[in-house]
Amino acid sequence: MALKATLNAADARAGTTIQQEREALSDVAHPNIVGIREFVEHGGIEYIVMDYVHGRSLDVLALRFTGATEGRLPPVDAVRYLIKLLEPLAYLRGILAGPNSRAESKVLAAARLKRLVRRLAAAEWHAEPKSEGEQVAMSWLCEMLTLHQAALLHPAKVLWVNFDAFLAAPQPSLQAIFHALGAQAAQQEIAALVSGPIMRQYSKAPEHAYDAQLRREVLQSADWDHAAEIRRGLAWLEGVARQYPLAAAVLRALEARRVT
């Protein structure tokens, strides 16, 4: 576990910042975002209890990527976002193909549905997911709506990264990512990353191999084993988009990114 607190508890602005972060993070549940466990107060100081993630600190990253001398990321570099994009069909296939992913999806379903209904700002909800495929589709919509709304705040500083396109052509994708982050990377450095072990390992379990070919095989197995649930999930999404404008906006934005 890790604790995060304000550096100056007497500063009213610091208290406001931690409160805003608390409100924002309490509505976020995503595998690529540090998990929040609890919000506590002790001695007049508010703390955020979060999962500890091992790695380099931001001051190291600031020196590495921006040349900053004060150990901080300039706002123009800090406010940049890389959002991994999975189209609903790929998401359905990927989740249904893995027993662990299916189990995790079921555990998170209730919380995701609650978040989705709140974010859709609907006076009434008439689309309760009934099958596993519909439940997985609901999870996709919940997460994508959250990311879509976040991206609308800083459209010029967001780079959507299609995961399957990245696997198919990692070198130009990495080049675009470095550029979006304001970092310069030589072609030799990117080529070394692409040919190195990180592109052949499953990020959640590095002891297991993973590459574009294995992903294709996994998705194909889902087509054979879960075709009916995949169809149910896609049909559920279409139905929700017809009823709720914000859901339709997510699908329209997805189509626009596909075209461009």
- Looking at residue 63, what is its pLDDT? 47
**The domain that contains 34 carries what CATH number?**
3.30.200.20
Residue 192 is assigned to a structural domain of this protein: yes
Number of compact structural domains in the chain: 2
Shared-domain flag, residues 144 and 220: yes
Same domain? For 238 and 167 the reply is yes
pLDDT for res 62: 46
For residue 50, how many C-alpha atoms fall within 13 Å in the half-sphere facing its CB? Answer: 18
**Which amino acid, one-letter code, is at 42?**
H
Task: Give domain status of residue 197, yes or no.
Answer: yes
- Cβ contacts of residue 178 below 8 Å, gap of 6+? 184, 185, 190
Six-digit token pair at 176?
């675009």
Indicate the residue among 11, 36, 54 that finishes a domain: 54
Q: Within this chain, do residues 236 and 156 fall inside the same structural domain, yes or no?
A: yes
Q: Are 246 and 167 found together in one domain?
A: yes
Q: pLDDT value at position 112?
A: 93
| 260 residues of the chain, pLDDT tens digit each | 777 666 555 556 556 666 656 665 555 555 555 666 677 777 777 777 777 766 655 455 444 444 444 445 455 444 444 555 578 999 999 999 988 899 999 999 999 999 999 999 887 899 999 999 999 999 999 999 988 988 888 888 888 888 888 888 899 999 998 888 888 888 888 898 888 888 888 777 778 888 888 888 988 999 999 999 999 999 999 999 999 999 999 999 988 887 55
Name the 3-class secondary structure at 219. Answer: helix
What domain range includes position 49?
2-54
